[in-house]
Amino acid sequence: MIFFSLKYTTIFWFIVMLIGQWVFAAYVAIYHGYKILVNGMGSMGGKHMPNGYIDGDFTGNIILASHLIIPIFVIVAGPLQLIPKIQRDYRRFHKWIGRIYLPLIFILSLGGVYLTWSRPRPSFGSIYQDIAISIEGILIIFFALQTLYFALQRKIKQHRQWALRLFIVASGVWFLRIGYRTWFFIEDLLSFQVDNFFNYWSFASYLVPLAILELYLQVKKSKSRKSEKRLSILLFAVTLYMMIGIFLATKGMWLPRVLSIINNT
């Protein structure tokens, strides 16, 4: 079967991920970016962002605004950097995107850690989520430095592996949203509940995808047909999980907020 082929399952995963991330990027651009550009930083906030604009916190407000605008480029450009044809046939484009992407992702990570510990924690937050965000920021910075190092050393294989790790962890905020949406749907469907799930998922949202990537790299290295088939089944199941989360997040969060902006324009 085609879905037992790791090559085609990986392509399937990538297409779903690309669509999901670009939908998320459109939401960020229209809902957050547009509001900030038109109405200023004072528009940052709402029930889903209770500690948005804080009067008197100039530094924090600037960092938060950049944290809502810069990701538009990062989310759109990140998947493009993974496409082999672009890496191979459009090297200059790939290099220039990378030269912009790496500094921006570095800035976003430092800003995210700063905002986490410098601002009041929202009522729905916890110390575990703060720690998870901080670890994620540290991993992003480390992976970005490794990606840059191997690019400068012209060790392309290692560069691509670290770039994949960077992309996966940098996508944690996206995995977080689609992941918990699918999980809560499953809880409602089967009538059960895991206490403090969000605390666990705050870590797992980037550590689980990272673990799957490491498994993928090891399986590709081993060239074991049996291992490839098993990984293909796992990746197919993960992709279905992602599809549900993308649909639910779009329907329940992103689309209504975007429509509210469009209808009020």
Where are the chain's structural domains?
A: 2-263
Q: What is the pLDDT of residues 172-207, one digit of tens each?
A: 999 999 999 999 999 999 999 988 899 999 999 999
The arithmetic mean of pLDDT across residues 246-264, rounded, is 92
Q: What are phi and psi of 105, to 5 degrees?
A: -70, -30
Q: Which of 15, 69, 18, 12 is nearest to 40 (CA)?
A: 69
The pLDDT-based confidence of 50 (bands split at 50, 70, 90) is low
Residue 133 burial by CB count (10 A; 0-12/13-18/19+): exposed, middle or buried?
A: buried
Q: Tokens at residue 91, please?
A: 């090297």
Q: Which of 99, 246, 231, 87 is nearest to 156 (CA)?
A: 87
The arithmetic mean of pLDDT across residues 145-167, rounded, is 96
pTM assigned to the model:
0.93
What's the whole-number average pLDDT of the chain? 91
pLDDT score for 38: 82
Q: What is the pLDDT of residues 216-249, one digit of tens each?
A: 999 999 989 999 999 999 999 999 999 999 999 9
3-state secondary structure of 1: coil
Tokens 């509001």 sit on residue:
35
